[in-house]
Amino acid sequence: MNSTSAFTWEKAKQVVEQIVFNNIGEHPKDIEMKVLRGSWEGLTYEKMAEQSHLSVNYLRGDIGPQLWQKLSEALGEEVTKSNFKGALERAWGRQLFPHIDSNLKQLQSPLAELPFPEGSVPLDSPFYIERDNIESICYETVVKSASLIRIKAPKLMGKTSLMTRVLSYAASQNYQTVYLDLSSVERGILTNLDKFLRWLCLMVGRKLKLENRLKDYWDTEILGSNDNCTVYFEEYLLPEIDCPLVLGLDEVDRIFPYNQVVEDFLGMLRSWHEKGKISEQWKQLRLVMAHSTEVYIPLDMNQSPFNAGLPVMLQEFDHKQVTDLAHLHGLNWNDTQVRELMNIVGGHPYLVRLAMYEVYTQKATLKQLLQDASTEAGIYSNHLRRYLETLHSEEAQGLKEALTKVVTSPEPVELDSMQIYKLHSMGLVQRKDNQVMPRCNLYREYFRRVL
């Protein structure tokens, strides 16, 4: 049994009743528990007000804030409508194993089947860490007409995990959702605008379980590819579902190198967003895009979707978030241990989780792990070697020399704009004004040695 399946509403209710009573000496109010239950089920304040026949302003302005403030004080961390589940589960976990040694595995705890950290964090995982209320802002935005959300961060920073949650929230509001990962598309399709837009229409239709009617709508004699794609959405896909559609496009930067495609495609997305301001049909479409860095060809600011909508920048975890993640892993680390790990890998989500997995499963102590981190014997060897292979490939021409310059300099250095774009997209460097430096000491130490 995993942690999430074990942590039910009934257990959450028990945790809330206990911590509130222990903190203020009285039980939560019935209306507060109704708001908590509604939030647990993913309901908006409007829906809760409708079901309880109460004023939405009363629930949103009075009861909700009072409840989250009570829980914040009782738990010693900021609790909101969007992150309360994780906070309560952590409290439940602490009740189950309050005296865990930092390197001991609790075989009977919900963490006994701790999954290896790879890829995006599943929806039912307790190891997803919310960042600075970003999730709730995205949830509020995605339900607005013709909304556009742009998630930007280097690789392995949690873009897909956040997008998955935004789409899941939209689905809970009875919206149709479609997730498309552009990294899986063949290059032959990505480099041909007409093929790419046909692929887009076909895949969206399939995800919506609609018949393929491209032959009926694709006019190759008169209309261009952008117009054909727009017509297919406007006259077929959107009318057929008759409800809001949230289209999630992941790894959008996969098309950035293909000038003949990227300008037209991004211009089309921007036009869809603008149509939503005046057209009832296009108000139904909401876009969520994720990319690793900026497009590196000049785009007209009025035609680029990167100058519109809600920008979401995913940063690394801070000290508190790394500490919270350690507790979720059953590791009773103190501030010194957290700082030691962050001194090597920063707050990089994947690198942090991999370290905690290794310590929790007793494959290494934190001290051993940090000593070997940048060596071939360390836990990051496969991760680092993949980067090294990429740097030696023909496609990465010039990047090896550029990164060598970065890791051997004690100060941030200037690079060619294209080199900065590619290294930042890979997640190897971080920007500081117009210069760059290694993203973390792990990368500095390893690449300084092997390059």
pLDDT at residue 299 in the model = 63
Count, in order, helices (H) and strands (E) of the chain. 24, 7
- Note the pLDDT tens digit of each residue in 309-350: 899 999 999 999 999 999 888 888 999 999 999 999 999 999
pLDDT at residue 261 in the model = 92
Mean pLDDT of the chain: 87
Is 339 in contact with 322 (CB distance < 8 Å)? no
Sketch the domain layout of the chain as residue ranges: 1-96, 134-313, 373-450
| Architecture in CATH of 373-450 | Orthogonal Bundle (1.10)
Per-residue pLDDT averaged across 220-237, rounded? Answer: 94
Per-residue pLDDT averaged across 421-425, rounded? Answer: 86
Q: Name residues whose C-beta falls within 8 Å of residue 125's C-beta, 6 or more positions apart in sequence.
A: 4, 115
Helix (H, G, I), strand (E, B) or coil at 250: strand
- As beta bridge partners, residue 180 has 249
pLDDT at residue 3 in the model = 38
- Give the span between the Cα atoms of 228 and 218, in whole angstroms: 5
- Does the pLDDT of residue 120 top 80, yes or no? yes
Is 319 in contact with 180 (CB distance < 8 Å)? no
Residue 290 has phi, psi (to 5 degrees) of -130, 135
Alpha helices, H only, 25-83: 30-40, 45-52, 56-58, 64-75
pLDDT at residue 300 in the model = 65
- Report percent pLDDT > 90 for the chain: 54
Q: Of the CATH numbers 3.10.450.200, 3.30.70.20, 3.40.50.300, 3.40.50.10490, which one belongs to the domain with range 134-313?
A: 3.40.50.300
Q: Model's pTM, two decimal places?
A: 0.73
- Does the pLDDT of residue 99 top 60, yes or no? no
CA-CA distances (angstroms) from residue 180 to 12, 217, 221, 248, 437? 34, 22, 29, 6, 32
Alpha helices, H only, 185-224: 187-190, 193-207, 214-217
Is 181 in contact with 254 (CB distance < 8 Å)? no
Q: In what order do the strands lie in the sheet with 245-250?
A: 176-181, 245-250, 285-291, 148-152, 310-313
Per-residue pLDDT averaged across 117-123, rounded? Answer: 87
